[in-house]
Amino acid sequence: MTDNKTWTREEILTIYNKPLMELIYDAAQVHRLHHDPLKIQVSKLISIKTGGCPEDCGYCPQAARYHTNIEKNNLMPVDEVLAKAEAAKATGSSRVCMGAAWRNVQDGEDFDQVIEMVKGLSAMNMEICCTLGMVTENQATRLAEAGLHYYNHNIDTSEEYYKEVISTRGFNDRIKTLENVRKSSLKVCSGGIIGMGETVNDRIGMLMGLLKLSSAPESIPINALVPVEGTPLEEQEIVPIWDVIRMIATTRIVFPKSTVRLSAGRMQMSKEGQALCFMAGASSIFAGDKLLTTPNPGDNEDMQLFNLLGLTPTEKIKDNTGKVKIRKDQPILETVTDEKWSRPSHIIERNIKATEKGKELRKKLKQ
């Protein structure tokens, strides 16, 4: 995936800091070697279980402890998911990503229902991705067997800055899940968020974190923070578009073959800014007027943008080989392998402040 080149932190930093015009030109050249620059994969996000999450991710409106203005929902019925996917396919999506606000997947009825969703979607000739929190190897294998192609699990930022954003799990839990996914023969989707107050070194650290995985992710989402009222990061300034372009271009050069996804934050980006992201190597967007809980440019706006730029949605999935081939030495275990996830519980002042504010607001609303 990385053309077997070994990158040093210094080399990546040098790329990130190149004069912007040079950086975009270099990234565009790498992009053309491995991808059709006129095709963008349009992906539909479906929030199959919204809100009420026990984690304390400082950026996330779905964490139960913060008071945010989102509509919470229990697990969506299978039929509803399939109908949403059909509708998205009709408007140009060739990929579906199902997201659940879970800390980790738990074996039982809900997971069985997700397996049914994957089976239903796999008959639709669309690429399928899930993001359900931490998973064991056994759970990842069950998903692969049901027809899932990718599992999304972002490392989000550098290992050092991770401790400033999340206290309910450690960076190593993320790595462990990604390795479980890799062993199951699913493809890995993992990237991060910029604009959370991290330094440029943390952004490079995030890419170094991805390089340290046993093999590079086939898919790398780059999210620009959407600062949501009630979350600890509500007051973060919108990250400059120039930083988004730099991050996308650097990711493209370091991971030439991966799909780089221009993910959250497009509402805060101009058309010109997004065009430069495509030029710099982004080859996928999320479609529709909602991401999981926050607004996104709708289909009409995106079609206008595609027409302006001469882009078209990727029609077919690249590797519709049907079910992922399960390695013979990885049988689906009857007994559940219990993974021990960590709970570091260190103190993050801004997370505690937002939690307290959430408690107060809920108390007031009850009165």
The pattern of x and - marking residues 299 through 338 that bind ligand SAM according to CB under 6 A reads ----------------------------------------
Question: Taking CB under 6 A as the rule, does residue 55 contact ligand SF4?
Answer: yes
Give the integer Cα–Cα distance in Å for 367 and 354: 20
Give the integer Cα–Cα distance in Å for 217 and 283: 15
Catalytic residue among 65, 95, 103, 129, which? 129
Q: Which stretch binds ligand SF4 (CB under 6 A): 49-57, 116-124, 189-197, 316-324?
A: 49-57
Contact 118, 146 (CB under 8 A): yes
Nearest to 162 by CA among 313, 75, 56: 56
Distances (CA, A) of 348 to 77, 163, 191, 229, 305: 36, 8, 23, 18, 40
Residue 57 annotated as catalytic: yes
Question: Taking CB under 6 A as the rule, does residue 128 contact ligand DTB?
Answer: no
- Residue 156's binding partner among ligand SAM, ligand DTB, ligand SF4, none (Cβ under 5 to 8 angstroms by kind) is ligand SAM
Catalytic residue among 130, 189, 252, 277, which? 189
Burial 255-290 (b: 16+ CB within 10 A, else e): bbebbbbbbbbbebbeeebbbbbbbbbbbbbbbbee
- Residue 153's binding partner among ligand SF4, ligand DTB, ligand SAM, none (Cβ under 5 to 8 angstroms by kind) is ligand SAM
Task: Quote the least distance from Cβ 120 to ligand DTB, whole Å.
Answer: 19
85 to 124, contacts with ligand SF4 by CB under 6 A?
A: 101, 103
Nearer to ligand SF4, 24 or 57 (CB): 57
Q: How far is CA 196 from the centre of its chain?
A: 15
Contact 146, 327 (CB under 8 A): no
User: 3-state class of 204 per DSSP?
Assistant: helix
Nearer to ligand SAM, 60 or 282 (CB): 60
Site residues (CB under 6 A) for ligand SAM? 59-60, 62, 99, 101-102, 131, 133, 153-154, 156, 193, 223, 225-226, 228, 264, 292
